[in-house]
């Protein structure tokens, strides 16, 4: 009999907080790095252009043009609060092309004069808008189906297992590539395609865990006491597999971010935001070959940080036999 595992406390892991912070950074990108102000007081009325962008509306300057020109004509009665990184990811400036790090541009600018830090921040939205929702969906579907299959056995388990094996035959990158090429450049399609490819990982783990847990005393006792199947599933079995599921989820988030970046790097965009680390790497490679490393190294470091953070999380909750 295997000794019971140490209890898994998800929120005690610093690596998980780092990963969550990166997801939050992606979700909040428009208010972290933007050339539109966070808050603006004009003619006695407040407006919040950057927050408008956060909820999916365009933040257009009052004269209908760009914010930079409008803000340059600063008037004494206008109060402006800028985001921490006061540059937009797409705002180009020929005068700034390829400049190095400075006080105004912490990481410098790329060959079109776009602020690198702002682009890095906005590239993190691949995490929040693509990887996190897709993995969350896959986690819910996979964990429920897998656990149910492990507890119920019979034809339901057989069906789930067959589906799992079927999906294992489809290589992640290849299938995403085809989905992007044929189903169009839509965020929803990309999320659904990712979730469809990732749920079997969760289902496989959840089933194996459920099979083992079904033999344990507390599950047998609960069954003997006549606890309903739903309660058994949600209150007794699922909480016991937090660790393995967290490990799988972390691996899947890393795989999703890498797949998105790879597709963008190869020039087959998925439904991600306008700024992608893969795309930055793609344009950065040519500059790097000419000896200008910054535009390549910045997204490479960001991507590596995200992937390593995810793997740290996975490592933390893994069932390490040496521990």
Partner 1 sequence: MLRLLRRLLWLCGMLLGVSFATFAVVDLAPVDRAELAIARAAGDRAFADLDARERAILQLRAQFGMVDPVTLQPAPLGTRYLQWLGNAARLRFAGPNGDHDALWRRIAQAWPTTALLGGLALLLAFGVGVPLGARLGMAAGTAREGVASALLLAFAALPEFLVATLLLLAFGAAGLQWLPVSGLRSPDATTWPAWQQALDSARHLVLPVAVIGVGPLALVARFVRDAVARADRSPWVETMRALGAEPAVLRRRLRRHGALPAATLAGSLLPMLVGGSVVAENAFALDGLGHLAFTAASEQDQPLLLALVTLGAIATLLAFAFADWLHARLDRRAGAA
Radius of gyration of the chain (CA): 24
* Contacts of partner 1 in 180-199 (CB under 8 A): 180-184
Binding of partner 1 by 174 (CB under 8 A): yes
Shortest gap between Cβ of 78 and partner 1 (angstroms)? 44
Buried b (16+ CB within 10 A) or exposed e, 101-139: eeeebebbbbeebbbbbbbbbbbbbbbbbbbbbbbebbb
Among 92, 113, 262, 283, binds partner 1 (CB under 8 A): 262
Find out whether 43 and 77 touch, Cβ atoms under 8 Å.
yes
SS3 state of residue 270: coil
Q: Which residue, 109 or 256, has its beta carbon nearer to partner 1? A: 256
Please state, in angstroms and rounded to a whole number, the distance separating the CA atoms of residues 121 and 110: 14
Q: List strand residue ranges (DSSP E) for 207-298, in order.
A: none
Applying CB under 8 A, the span of 25-33, 84-92, 211-219, 282-290 interacting with partner 1 comes to 282-290
Q: Contact between 58 and partner 1 (CB under 8 A)? A: no
Select the residue interacting with partner 1 from 275, 296, 298, 316 (CB under 8 A). 296
Q: Per-residue x/- mask for partner 1, residues 225 to 254, rule CB under 8 A?
A: -----------------------------x
Residues in the interface with partner 1 (CB under 8 A) total 47
73 near partner 1, rule: CB under 8 A: no
First CA to last CA distance, the chain: 17
Does position 308 interact with partner 1 (CB under 8 A)? The reply is: yes
Q: Which one, 92 or 262, has the nearer CB to partner 1?
A: 262
DSSP state of 7: P
Pairing verdict, β 79-81 and 39-42 = antiparallel
Q: Smaller CB distance to partner 1: residue 33 or 254? A: 254
In the complex, the smallest distance separating the C-beta of residue 65 from partner 1, rounded to whole angstroms, is 35
Among 20, 82, 177, 227, binds partner 1 (CB under 8 A): 177
Q: Does residue 291 interact with partner 1 by CB under 8 A? A: yes
Check the CA dihedral 301-318-26-282 and report its sign: positive
Q: What number of other Cβ atoms are within 10 A of residue 290's Cβ?
A: 8
**Cα–Cα distance between 26 and 51 in angstroms, integer?**
14
- The residues that touch partner 1, with contacts defined as CB under 8 A, are 162, 165-166, 168-175, 177-184, 254, 258, 261-262, 265-268, 278, 281, 285, 288-291, 296, 300, 303-304, 307-308, 310-311, 315, 320-323
């Amino acid at each position: 009999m295997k000794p019971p595992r140490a209890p898994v406390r998800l929120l005690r892991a610093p690596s998980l907080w780092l990963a969550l912070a990166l997801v939050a950074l992606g979700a909040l990108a428009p208010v972290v790095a933007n050339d539109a102000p966070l808050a603006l007081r004009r003619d006695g009325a407040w407006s919040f252009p950057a927050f408008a962008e956060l909820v999916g509306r365009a933040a257009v300057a009052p004269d209908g043009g760009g914010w930079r020109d409008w803000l340059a004509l600063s008037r004494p009665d206008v109060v402006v609060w800028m985001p921490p990184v006061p540059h937009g990811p797409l705002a180009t400036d020929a005068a700034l092309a390829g400049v190095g790090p400075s006080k105004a541009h912490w990481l410098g600018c790329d060959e079109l004069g776009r602020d690198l830090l702002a682009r890095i921040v906005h590239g993190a939205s691949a995490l929040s808008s693509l990887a996190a929702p897709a993995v969350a969906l896959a986690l819910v579907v996979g964990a429920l189906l897998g656990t149910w299959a492990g507890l119920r056995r019979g034809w339901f388990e057989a069906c789930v297992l067959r589906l799992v094996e079927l999906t294992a035959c489809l290589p992640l990158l290849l299938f995403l590539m085809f989905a992007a090429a044929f189903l169009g450049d839509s965020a929803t399609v990309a999320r659904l395609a990712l979730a469809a490819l990732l749920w079997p990982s969760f289902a496989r783990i959840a089933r194996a865990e459920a099979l083992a847990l079904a033999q344990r005393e507390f599950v047998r006792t609960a069954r003997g006491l006549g606890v309903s199947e739903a309660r058994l599933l949600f209150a007794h079995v699922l909480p016991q597999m937090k660790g393995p599921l967290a490990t799988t989820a972390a691996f899947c988030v890393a795989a999703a971010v890498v797949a998105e970046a790879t597709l963008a790097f190869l020039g087959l965009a998925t439904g991600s935001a306008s700024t992608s680390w893969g795309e930055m790497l793609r344009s950065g490679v040519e500059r790097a070959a000419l000896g200008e490393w910054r535009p390549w190294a910045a997204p490479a470091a960001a991507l590596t940080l995200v992937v390593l953070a995810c793997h740290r999380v996975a490592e933390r909750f893994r069932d390490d036999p040496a521990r």
